[in-house]
């Protein structure tokens, strides 16, 4: 019983349903595991253990089980919730000193859905301030460390969530993704995280309800667990006008009977558009070719992404204006410079510039549509570098070149955000210093089932998911490339 935390989420749910173990058994195992590893990683700075125990006891008494039998039923499984998302009665800071003592009275609609489907919230996972950044740190809780080498970053902004599943603190992690926040932490921590299509999962209380840029989604240790949690999350929500019904065939069922993609396109740099470190390029180029071992036709090809980095920044900056303009007016001294810079970039841009960005985004979506007529899957590196110094907000260089701004290390991911396609991070190996390396698999819009089928076949081929969960390992920062 002391090592229950080593089970996969799917295995744990099967045993919960058979009543071989109880929700309270898992809550206590999760609590003990957090006590063991938190001092090394700082992934879960806010815990709600009594609340979790109460929920477990309610489920064991046969109550709050109205969703039993539905796809994504978790049966009393411990999960983490990103600290951007409200949980009733639990301190929720958004990583900001402005909200350091904030305790919401009501949960976010997605948290309500997760708890309705038998997920037990153990606490809040750490995130950068307002989720802005590719390294997880803030002025409220400090830095979250990579369990493969605690001197390194875990990525961002769902860094705490990725670490919480990689170390076995919880079985599944909730997160969100704008410019790679579910994919970069997956790549850096050797976990899996999927950015679903816009509308697949409710964003509930967002003020950017009609923008497809930011989405909510799951992280896990393997693809089957990820599919289970996406089943938990997916579906229409009255609070989010972009949402739509969950599929008739669950993602878990789709992953259990995977179909290989017929034609796979691979690109390391989107036709020379982006930089990446030499070793990352070599590892990803070699491992991407392994789809041939599954019987897939693999070709080097990339859609024309146009000026996608400029488009992304224009759209992102507008979203920052919606979210942060009023807060900066009231609390400028408490907000980190990156957020102020991004918001003021949006305030300075013209209506004509925004119109240009929208036209370019529409053009990219149409070009992607033509691309998907030929290919079933697009494979890219998951990140341009391996995990970097935990004390840095971004990698110092990429392929020896300095970054122009803090988002420049995320362009491989943010380009896919603009494209409107779902994408999943999957582990593909390690660099010479033992740092995880991953691929980004990109699928057709609303094609999460086929995307995860490709991912699970690739995962079985490599077997890297068997290395998790791990105990945190101390280490040193490797030299920059």
Whole-Å CA distances, 2 to 26, 32, 53, 163: 10, 9, 17, 20
Cα–Cα dist 198/241, whole Å: 11
Quick one: average pLDDT of 244-264?
98
Closest CA to 356 of 312, 400, 413: 312
Cα–Cα dist 90/428, whole Å: 37
Lowest-confidence region among 187-201, 326-340, 399-413: 399-413
Cα–Cα dist 193/177, whole Å: 10
For 4-467, give the CATH class: alpha beta
User: What is the sign of the dihedral through the CA atoms of 277, 281, 282 and 288?
Assistant: positive
* Helix or strand run (H / E) with residue 56: helix 49-60
pLDDT above 70 covers a percentage of the chain that reads 100
Torsion of CA 347, 352, 353, 354, to 10 degrees: 70
Instruction: Note if the pTM is more than 0.95.
Output: yes
3-state secondary structure of 152: strand
In the predicted structure, residue 377 carries a pLDDT above the cut 80: yes
Phi, psi of 344 (to 5 degrees): -70, -30
CB 66 within 8 A of CB 72: no
Cα–Cα dist 286/428, whole Å: 10
> Residue 478: which pLDDT band, with cuts at 50, 70 and 90?
very high
Whole-Å CA distances, 304 to 317, 378, 417: 23, 13, 15
Whole-Å CA distances, 95 to 151, 160, 261, 304: 21, 11, 40, 36
- Biggest CA-to-CA distance, the chain: 62
CB 134 within 8 A of CB 410: yes
The ranges assigned to domains in the chain are: 4-467
How far separated are the first and last CA of the chain, in Å rounded?
A: 44
In the predicted structure, residue 2 carries a pLDDT above the cut 80: no
Closest CA to 377 of 265, 234, 213: 265
pLDDT tens, residue by residue, 181-229:
999 999 999 999 999 999 999 999 999 999 999 999 999 999 999 999 9
Cα–Cα dist 178/155, whole Å: 13
């Amino acid at each position: 019983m002391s090592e229950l935390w080593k089970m996969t989420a799917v295995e744990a749910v099967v045993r919960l349903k058979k009543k071989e173990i109880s929700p309270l058994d898992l809550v206590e195992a999760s609590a003990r595991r957090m006590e063991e590893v938190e001092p090394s990683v700082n992934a879960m700075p806010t815990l709600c253990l009594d609340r979790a125990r109460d929920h477990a006891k309610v489920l064991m008494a046969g109550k709050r089980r109205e969703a039993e039998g539905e796809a994504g039923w978790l049966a009393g499984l411990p999960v983490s919730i990103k600290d951007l998302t409200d949980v009733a009665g639990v301190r929720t800071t958004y990583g900001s000193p402005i909200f350091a003592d904030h305790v919401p009275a009501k949960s976010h609609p997605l948290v309500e859905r997760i708890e309705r489907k038998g997920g037990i919230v153990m606490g809040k996972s750490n995130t950068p301030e307002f989720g802005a950044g590719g390294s997880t740190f803030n002025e409220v809780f400090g830095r979250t460390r990579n369990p493969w080498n605690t001197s390194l970053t875990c990525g961002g902004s769902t860094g705490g969530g990725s670490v919480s599943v990689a170390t076995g603190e919880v079985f599944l992690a909730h997160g969100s993704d704008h410019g790679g926040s579910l994919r970069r932490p997956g790549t850096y921590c050797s976990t899996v995280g999927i950015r679903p299509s816009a509308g697949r999962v409710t964003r509930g209380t967002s003020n950017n309800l009609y923008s497809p840029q930011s989405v909510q989604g799951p992280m896990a240790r393997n693809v089957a667990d990820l599919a289970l949690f996406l089943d938990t999350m997916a579906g229409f929500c009255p609070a989010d006008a972009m949402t739509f019904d969950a599929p008739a065939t669950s993602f878990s069922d789709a992953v259990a009977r995977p179909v290989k993609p017929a034609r796979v396109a691979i690109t390391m740099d989107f036709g020379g558009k982006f930089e990446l470190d030499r070793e990352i390029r070599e590892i990803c180029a070699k491992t991407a070719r392994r789809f041939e071992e599954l019987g897939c036709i693999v070709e080097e090809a990339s859609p024309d992404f146009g000026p996608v980095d400029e488009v992304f920044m224009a759209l992102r900056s507008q979203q920052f204006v919606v979210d942060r303009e009023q807060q900066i007016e009231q609390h400028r001294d408490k907000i980190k410079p990156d957020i102020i810079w991004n918001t003021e970039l949006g305030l300075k841009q013209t209506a004509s510039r925004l119109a240009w960005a929208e036209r370019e985004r529409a053009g990219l979506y149409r070009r992607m549509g033509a691309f998907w007529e030929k290919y079933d899957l697009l494979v890219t590196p998951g990140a341009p570098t391996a995990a970097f110094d935990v004390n840095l907000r971004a990698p110092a260089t990429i392929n020896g070149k300095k970054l122009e701004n803090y988002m420049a290390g995320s362009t491989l991911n943010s380009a896919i955000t603009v494209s409107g396609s779902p994408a999943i991070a999957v582990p593909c190996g390690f660099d010479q210093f033992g740092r995880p390396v991953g691929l980004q698999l990109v699928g057709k819009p609303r094609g999460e089932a086929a995307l995860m089928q490709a991912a699970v076949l690739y995962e079985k081929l490599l077997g890297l998911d068997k290395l998790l969960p791990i105990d945190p390992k101390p280490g040193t920062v490797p030299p920059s490339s």
